[in-house]
Homo-oligomer: A and B are copies of this chain.
Amino acid sequence: MDAVQRANSGHPGMPMGAAPMAHALWTRHLRHNPRNPKWFDRDRFILSAGHGSMLLYSLLHLTGYDLSLDDIRAFRQFGSRTPGHPENTLTPGVEMATGPLGQGISTAVGMAIAEAHLAAVFNRPGHTVVDHYTFGICSDGDLMEGVAQEACSLAGHLELSKLIFLYDDNGITIDGKTDLAYTEDVTKKFEALGWTVLACDGMDVDAVDRAIGVAKANGKGPVLVRCKTTIGFGSPNRAGTSKSHGEPLGVDEIRLTKERLGLPVDREFWIDDDVLATYRQAIVRGEESEAEWAGRFAAYAEAYPVEAERLSAAIHGNLGDWAAHLPAIDEKIATRAASGKVVDAVSTSLVGFLGGGADLTGNVNVPQKAFGLFSASDRTGRTLHYGVREHAMMAAVNGITLHGAARGFGGTFLIFSDYCKPSIRLAALMECPSIFVFTHDSIGLGEDGPTHQPVEQLAGLRAIPNLNVFRPADGNETVAGWKVALESTHTPTLFSLSRQALPPVSPSFSGTHPAEKGGYVLADFPTISGPRVVLIGAGSEVQHCISARDLLVERGIAARVVSLPCWRLFDRQSEAYRFDVLPDDVPAVSVEAASTFGWAKYAHAHVGLDRFGASAPGDVNMREFGFTAEHVADVAASLIGR
């Protein structure tokens, strides 16, 4: 409450009410090493109710992570390591960014999937080297969110027994009492989803402790521990009310609260020495835990040197020698199919490569032919049927990737990127190199019509900071995109792939490809003397640029074709390179079967789609909406005239 008061903003109620359950979990169960927050086999802890960040910062400081009281005094200030909601890129011990409700618990499902898979693949009789829980605290707000409901249904289906969430059941939301909007029978619902539900007094440390013990021993799928708590516990006038949720208690109320709790009323950020000493035992316990694990790992390495080396490399971020297996794809092929070929080419050389689809698994070409399904009965499989749960899928993909020694990817139609945008954004914010595979990426998908045809999606996605949106023109550019994606350590990659077959237009992939630069000259100005124009295409429309160039040459106009599969990568090239590709004294036309929104950055006229599409065969749509060589050439020629 002192930190929130000093910041004059924040959420004191949740940390105060959830402190007993956090105490039980962090002092009696959580296996972690404050001196090595990245120890591989630690239990993961996810504060899904991210607004309660001060609870997590308190725990991190108390247990000896590199987070000082001065850091906490800087709560919610510019440049601090204690932002309003937890951010894994700023604070040691924070597993992921939380705050957007529902994301934490949904991402945790992915972490539990990764753990189950790696354990099944690497553990051997008598040698357990992957073995941890994924714990978390969630709120009613988390549980109301659709993404969490998808994720919890999935977790129940997959019987993820080592996933244990404490539900901070405090009966209060921002608007008032939870029952203003939320009256479902949570226990019954979670049981229907395949969870075991336990209930306890969340203010009773021993009761929570016992419930967690039962949960760990459960073994029959994920566990929700309903902890009845009092939000703002200790505050004489605000406990149990929404007034304690999202604003400072005020200096007077803090004084009263300290009085009631038996704390020195004139001290801020005060920690009892005994309390600190008790908590700091986590350092020794953590070092012992990791040392014990290291011993087990050494024995494993002796017995299974190959497996141990693979796992060890994966833990350190090297999932395998995939790069050597990237193929050239020179045929006419849908880029979704090309993507599937790359997945198959690299899969056996990658550890923890877990893909899946949201009920369009075959359509989006994500299955790895060399591996089976990941299911409740087989954890060694690598393809997940996520069901029609796009949002939970992409959150789980993030969780798999954040876990370490694994890389998640998931696929669905590009239009459904709308359904999972919050998880895509969070990957970018978390610097988590997830791979999002979206197919059927334009009106070229055809008859399913405008409800299924992306128009504005590419603009919205390209505008996300730290996200590589890659829309390849053919098979070889698709390979280049996968190279970028798999090399990436801090930036997620999003593929925008065609349903329809595309002719080969770009150079054959040979370990490298110019598309890795994001944009490049695919066909240069011909040596004719005439006005010049640049045709910039992306994805399935690059082919029309190439044909239009021929038409323009016939008309005495010298056209260059630039393929621009990834704006972000191109923008990060040197100014000299960019000007070389797109000379600023030559007019340019953009060609893409999508909204023209954003293209003015590169081009002066546009062949695009600033309306919704139509239900018709894909080639008819393309023609009707002007994605033809003739129309591109006409637009380019008209630009010359201006």
A contact residues vs B (CB 8 Å cutoff)? 7, 9-10, 50, 76-80, 83-85, 87, 97-102, 140-142, 144-150, 153-154, 156-157, 173-176, 180-189, 191-194, 357, 359-363, 373, 385-389, 391-392, 415-416, 418-419, 421-422, 425-426, 428-429, 446-452, 455-457, 459-466, 595, 597-598, 600-601, 610-612, 614-617, 620-621, 624
| Cα distance A147–B362 in the bound complex, in angstroms | 24
Is B84 within 8 A of A359, CB to CB? no
Which of B83, B156, B385, B600 is A614 in contact with, Cβ under 8 Å?
A: B83
Contact sample, A vs B, 29 pairs, CB 8 Å cutoff: A78-B614, A78-B624, A83-B615, A84-B449, A87-B451, A99-B449, A100-B451, A100-B452, A102-B388, A140-B388, A144-B150, A145-B389, A146-B389, A173-B359, A174-B361, A175-B357, A175-B362, A175-B385, A180-B385, A185-B191, A418-B425, A429-B612, A459-B460, A459-B598, A462-B597, A463-B598, A597-B601, A598-B598, A598-B600
Is A141 within 8 A of B388, CB to CB? yes
| Cα distance A394–B78 in the bound complex, in angstroms | 34
Residues of B within 8 A of A465 (CB): 455-456, 595, 610-612
A460-B463, A600-B601 known; A10-B447 Cβ under 8 A? yes
| Cα distance A183–B612 in the bound complex, in angstroms | 36
A-B pairs with lowest CB-CB distance, top 8: A146-B146, A460-B460, A181-B387, A83-B615, A78-B616, A456-B463, A99-B451, A463-B597
Is A447 within 8 A of B188, CB to CB? no
Q: How many copies of the chain does the oligomer comprise?
A: 2
Which of B388, B391, B456, B620 is A464 in contact with, Cβ under 8 Å?
A: B456
Is A359 within 8 A of B175, CB to CB? yes
Q: Which residue of B lies closest to A375 (CB)?
A: B180
Most-contacted residue by chain B among A174, A186, A463, A598 (CB, 10 A) = A463
Q: Which residue of B lies closest to A452 (CB)?
A: B99
Q: Which residue of B lies closest to A156 (CB)?
A: B184
| Cα distance A50–B415 in the bound complex, in angstroms | 15
Is A174 within 8 A of B456, CB to CB? no
A146-B145, A154-B181, A389-B146 known; A621-B447 Cβ under 8 A? no
Residues of B within 8 A of A101 (CB): 388
Residues of B within 8 A of A459 (CB): 459-460, 463, 597-598
Is A145 within 8 A of B154, CB to CB? no
Most-contacted residue by chain B among A7, A142, A192, A621 (CB, 10 A) = A192
CB distance from A63 to the nearest CB of B (A): 23
Residues of B within 8 A of A153 (CB): 144, 182, 184
Residues of B within 8 A of A7 (CB): 447
| Cα distance A147–B389 in the bound complex, in angstroms | 10
Most-contacted residue by chain B among A102, A153, A176 (CB, 10 A) = A153
| Cα distance A419–B147 in the bound complex, in angstroms | 9
A78-B616, A614-B79 known; A595-B10 Cβ under 8 A? no
Which of B359, B426, B451, B460 is A456 in contact with, Cβ under 8 Å?
A: B460
Is A84 within 8 A of B460, CB to CB? no
Is B600 within 8 A of A77, CB to CB? no
Residues of B within 8 A of A189 (CB): 188-189, 192-193
| Cα distance A429–B426 in the bound complex, in angstroms | 27
Is A415 within 8 A of B100, CB to CB? yes
Residues of B within 8 A of A98 (CB): 451
Residues of B within 8 A of A614 (CB): 78-79, 83
Residues of B within 8 A of A194 (CB): 183-184
Residues of B within 8 A of A360 (CB): 174-175
Residues of B within 8 A of A188 (CB): 188-189, 191-192
Is A452 within 8 A of B85, CB to CB? yes
| Cα distance A131–B461 in the bound complex, in angstroms | 44
| Cα distance A633–B418 in the bound complex, in angstroms | 37
CB distance from A587 to the nearest CB of B (A): 15
Residues of B within 8 A of A428 (CB): 612
Is A83 within 8 A of B450, CB to CB? yes
Q: Which residue of B lies closest to A76 (CB)?
A: B447
Known: A100-B419, A459-B460, A460-B461. 16 other contacts (CB 8 A): A7-B447, A10-B447, A50-B451, A78-B624, A79-B614, A85-B452, A146-B146, A146-B392, A146-B419, A174-B362, A182-B387, A188-B191, A455-B464, A456-B464, A456-B465, A600-B601
Is A84 within 8 A of B462, CB to CB? no
Is B446 within 8 A of A389, CB to CB? no
Residues of B within 8 A of A620 (CB): 77-78
Residues of B within 8 A of A150 (CB): 144-146, 149
